[in-house]
Amino acid sequence: MEYRRLGKSGLKVSEVSLGSWVTFSKQVDESKALKLMTTAYDAGVNFFDNAEGYEAGASEALMGAALEKLGFSRDSYAVSSKVFWGGEKPTQKGLSRKHVTEAAHAALKRLRVDYLDLYFCHRPDIDTPIEETVWAMHNLITQGKVLYWGTSEWTAQQLTEAWAVARREHLTPPTMEQPQYNLFVREKVEADYLPLYEMGLGTTIWSPLASGVLTGKYNDGIPEDSRMNLPGYEWLKKEWESDAGKAKLEKVKALAKLAKEVGLPIHHLALLWCLKNPHVSTVILGASKKSQLEDNLDALKSKDKLTPEVITAIEAIVDNKPAAPQRY
């Protein structure tokens, strides 16, 4: 396991981390959570990702119970929460000072920790001034309840505005962004955020396997036990059954063929491709089984197989590299 700085902060996170979206409290009970987190920790993973919106807080409660039982030294790992979807009432969602503060307190209780290492705004809130959110995050940091704060799926413009507020008011700026990033979703990480990396932005990327599509398991149809058939994930199934989704699946088949020639399973190829980007601080893995997590971690043993020639071949297949900024 190698470790990367979270942007320009002093915090070093493992190049791959363990997330709980879809799995914890939906596919994973406490017994499985203990095995998954132990496997990750023993492999050198030091960042565990969560959110108030995952299973209405039950995901955090499960992770908190597991952390308490496992007894990892608190100074040896980082744990996160994300704020936005806390409930149905107006004061239970969004990024108002009230909800940002109360959601942090609730996450601390569910995760059974004294502070959150990372605290993300799960989505932008167009109904709350960014200045209000920046102040709320800064206050939590000065109170010692949060160490670093960041965003998820914000635009470059929204992040720039948050930084401008922080500079003007002498507040703590966002340290990291959590965007989706994989062979099919590239624009934000590779183009939109380019000016922000020099300002100190780190990225904790999610869905590196495109919700499992880049494992190749959907090449012959949707398995009954896949996440696409889980209640509440009908939107995901619809996305990949569309014409655009079917076109991408054809590219997955070509990628699988290339991976076989290289001597890798396709999901290892996809994970290692994400890690090739120096602006990626950590790749968040999701797993419902210990064997699945161990397999994904094994990808780290094959970094040397992703040669420049292989990268070129990958680009020829996906054919979606964002255009570089033009010089005139």
Q: What is the per-residue pLDDT across 168-189, written as a single tens digit (0 to 9) for each? A: 999 999 999 999 999 999 999 9
Sorting pLDDT into bands at 50, 70 and 90, what band is 61? very high
Residue 225 has pLDDT above 80, yes or no: no
Amino acid identity, position 187: E
Q: Give the pLDDT of residue 49.
A: 98
Contacts of 14 (CB under 8 A, 6+ apart): 1, 2, 3, 44, 45, 46, 47, 282
For the chain, give the percent of residues with pLDDT over 70.
Answer: 95
Sorting pLDDT into bands at 50, 70 and 90, what band is 219? confident
The contacts found for 129-132 with CB under 8 angstroms, 24 or more apart, are 130/158, 130/161, 130/162, 130/165, 131/165, 131/169, 132/95, 132/96, 132/97
Please indicate whether residue 54 is annotated as part of the active site: yes
Which residues, in sequence order, are bridge partners of residue 18?
48, 285
Rg, the chain, Cα only: 19
- All structural domains of the chain: 3-215+273-306 (3.20.20.100)
Q: Give the pLDDT of residue 252.
A: 94
Count CA atoms within 13 Å of residue 63 on its CB side.
30
Q: Give the pLDDT of residue 170.
A: 98
**Cα pseudo-dihedral 12, 16, 21, 24, rounded to 10:** -100
Q: Give the pLDDT of residue 228.
A: 67
Catalytic residue among 3, 41, 54, 181: 54
Query: pTM of the full predicted structure?
Result: 0.93
Q: How far apart are CA 242 and CA 230, in angstroms?
A: 18
Q: How far apart are CA 218 and CA 213, in angstroms?
A: 6
Q: What is the mean pLDDT of residues 242-260?
A: 90
Contacts of 102 (CB under 8 A, 6+ apart): 86
Q: What is the per-residue pLDDT across 108-151, written as a single tens digit (0 to 9) for each? A: 999 999 999 999 999 999 999 999 999 999 999 999 999 999 99
